[in-house]
Amino acid sequence: MATELVIFDCDGVLVDSEGITTDAWVEAMNGLGLAWKAADVLHHFRGGKMADVIATAEAELGASVPEGFVAAFRARLYERLGTEVRAIPGIADALDALRHPVCVASNGPREKMDVTLGCTGLLDRFAGRIFSAYDIGLFKPEPGLFLHAAKACGAAPDRCVVVEDSDSGVRAGVAAGMTVFAYDGHGEGFRAEGATRFRDMAELPDLIAAL
């Protein structure tokens, strides 16, 4: 297969933001009186969307979250990410070694990617090729975001490679008919099937070159 495009997820693939985001969610939920732990957040919402977290919280509370809760949460989170987030180890070298066009397709808002990619020095590498599910209303695990990114970049879906770190992302890539590589840098494993797993970003260029 002649690869035409490599589509990267953002959180957990390009930037090591998931621990920061998880801690922020635990703090916020505990502040509402919900005894959520980090493992709960990662298990239920990793790679998901804000609306699902809020819906679950409201179901447990039996009431709506306070007015302005989401905006305040995002403001606190972005402030933390702007000072604490780091690039995934080895990702810069892996991007340098790739000989294919790249883009980012994330369930996160564009504003969040501007913060995380910007402060890790990765933003310019994806200029004009950053796609957020919020912009088109299509969220993983549905394949629409990846198909949208492929079309926008002029690539055939069956000639695209997806690099993901969550079950929802893997399912989306498989459903889009793309080749999926699942980054398992923390050894947590995946439930979703259909992806080739790898543990070190140094492996990625050779995995793609071998297609």
pTM score, two decimals?
0.90
Nearby residues of 204 by Cβ (< 8 Å), 6 or more positions away = 94, 98, 163, 181, 183, 198
CB atoms within 10 A of CB 110: 15
Average pLDDT over residues 57-72: 94
DSSP state of 124: G
At 124-161, the pLDDT tens digits run 999 999 999 999 999 999 999 999 999 999 999 999 99
- pLDDT, the chain, mean: 93
**Structural domains in the chain, sorted by start:** 5-16+85-209 (3.40.50.1000), 18-84 (1.10.150)
The pLDDT score that the predictor gives to residue 76 is: 94
Catalytic positions are 9
